[in-house]
Amino acid sequence: MRNSTYLKMGMNMLVHSKLRSWLTIIGIVIGVGSVIGIVSLGDAMKANVQSNLADLDLTKITISPGYTRASSNTMMDGDPTNGPGTSGAGASTTDAELTDDNIDALQGLDSIQYISGEISGSEKVKYIGKSATLSITGVDPQVWKYMTTLKTQSGRLLEPADKYVAVIGSDIASETFDHDIGVNQVITINNKSVRVVGILKEGGMGDDSNIYMPIDGAVELIEDAEDDVYDSITVKAKNEDLVDGLSEEIIDKLMISRHIIQEDDRDFSVTASKSMADSINEMLSSLTLFLGAIAAVSILVGSVGIANTMFTSVLEKTKEIGTMKAIGAKNRDILMIFLFNSAMVGLVGGFLGVFLGSILSSGLQSMMGNTTLGGGVSPYLIVGGLILAVLTGVTSGVIPAYRASKLKPVDALRYE
């Protein structure tokens, strides 16, 4: 027989067993739809996170006071779930200080492009009769504009000659006070007038509600701040490939300069943005794989349904099989007819499953309240879903088809 004949006879079996076929197809629809819905949602979440990480400077390394032994088993030093310098299991030191001596110790490392110390704190900020407690970060204006990935929507970033000036986040400029703050407007921080020279573009990551100003001015305005003592030291590597090696060099250098011999005596943490990004991507991939594996159970259930339907179909058509063999049909012909039938069950279920998966993906994204994921079902996922459905149908029908092909004509014709 020709393949077109197999296809025609397989289609006839599907059409003439409507109820049983559709009940079987529903199992495949649910399975394929679940897999496509969850995997496409995972892909959309990953794309969304990667879009946000694109704004992250992957050459940035942050050194913070304090160290937790447990974090040494994670990414370099900084566990992204703990944050730099935070405490977890194991010993922790948090009263250590970072000073100019530490910056001097690192200056000679070849892989460093820029290095600077930063201080931070929260102070009362006033503007036209209203006040709010806001976060202030003091940065080195000599190098900050070369190290930061922040962009201004108006005005400029800090310049080396600046002192009592500030670059403010977009939320502070338009939402924190009753009146919008523009470039060259003056705000008051701890009774000191500070001129706004720049307003940052909206970008999230906490920068929309932060004030950046030169560290010399910030030391005078932030309570408890001291000259040459930093809350963190930021290092920018010359390129992304050098980050891992540079992080190790920083640890070694600081261990020596701070006269620390034992790892347990460490009093600083080193966090690389690149390691954080890698960890987040790895976590999302694992989550997608895990959810996809759960959804794949539905495929398994659907395949059992197809196998059951095919066994029943073989029993119902035993006499027809005997007749076909009596007039010349070969074992291969019987095998192919049933395989085509099971493949078509999978294919129809696959098409409907893709449709269901698209609806499921959009619905899940809406439930998460994020319509910006942009999660249409990708072409590779549609093709993959159809191939998966057809393979499920074929593999589920192999054994029933094989048993049908091995029936002897005489026994098949006598079957009641």
Q: When comparing pLDDT for 1 and 313, which is higher?
A: 313
Q: Write out pLDDT tens, residues 136-160.
A: 999 999 999 888 888 899 999 999 9
Confidence (pLDDT) at 69: 60
**β-bridge mates for residue 214, sequence order:** 139
Q: What angle do CA 88, 204, 120 make, to 5 degrees?
A: 55
Domain residue ranges in the chain? 3-53+279-414, 97-266
Structure tokens at 49: 């996170």
Structure tokens at 70: 């447990």
Q: Which of 140, 144, 165, 142 is nearest to 155 (CA)?
A: 165
End-to-end CA distance of the chain: 27
Confidence (pLDDT) at 259: 87
Q: How confident is the model at residue 368 (pLDDT cuts 50, 70, 90)?
A: low
pTM exceeding the 0.85 threshold for the entire prediction: no
Q: How confident is the model at residue 199 (pLDDT cuts 50, 70, 90)?
A: very high
Q: Write out pLDDT tens, residues 373-389.
A: 555 678 888 888 888 88
Distance of CA 401 to the CA centre of its chain: 44
Percent of the chain residues topping a pLDDT of 90: 24
Mean pLDDT of the region 74-78: 48
Mean pLDDT is lowest, of 4-8, 73-77, 123-127, 257-261, for 73-77
Q: How confident is the prediction for the chain on average, in pLDDT?
A: 81
Q: Write out pLDDT tens, residues 94-128.
A: 567 899 999 999 988 889 999 999 999 999 999 98
Q: How confident is the model at residue 365 (pLDDT cuts 50, 70, 90)?
A: confident
Q: Write out pLDDT tens, residues 204-246.
A: 566 788 999 999 999 999 988 888 899 999 999 988 889 889 9
Is 314 within 8 Å of 403 (Cβ atoms)?
Answer: yes
Q: What are the backbone dihedrals phi and psi of residue 121, each rounded to the nearest 5 degrees, phi first? A: -175, 175
E strand or H helix at 341, and its extent? helix 331-367
Residue 120 CB-half CA count within 13 A:
13
DSSP-assigned letters across all residues of 96-111: --EEHHHHHHHTT-TT
Which DSSP letter does residue 116 get?
E
Confidence (pLDDT) at 32: 84
Is 138 within 8 Å of 218 (Cβ atoms)?
Answer: yes
Q: When comparing pLDDT for 374 and 353, which is higher?
A: 353
Q: When comparing pLDDT for 121 and 88, which is higher?
A: 121
CA pseudo-torsion sign 136, 147, 215, 174: negative
Confidence (pLDDT) at 388: 85
Confidence (pLDDT) at 87: 40
Q: How confident is the model at residue 189 (pLDDT cuts 50, 70, 90)?
A: very high
Q: Is the pLDDT of residue 81 over 60?
A: no
* Residue 358, number of CB atoms within 10 A of its CB: 19
Confidence (pLDDT) at 116: 92
Confidence (pLDDT) at 168: 93
Is 283 within 8 Å of 75 (Cβ atoms)?
Answer: no
Burial status of residue 256 (CB atoms within 10 A of its CB: 0-12, 13-18, 19 or more)? exposed
Is 327 within 8 Å of 389 (Cβ atoms)?
Answer: no
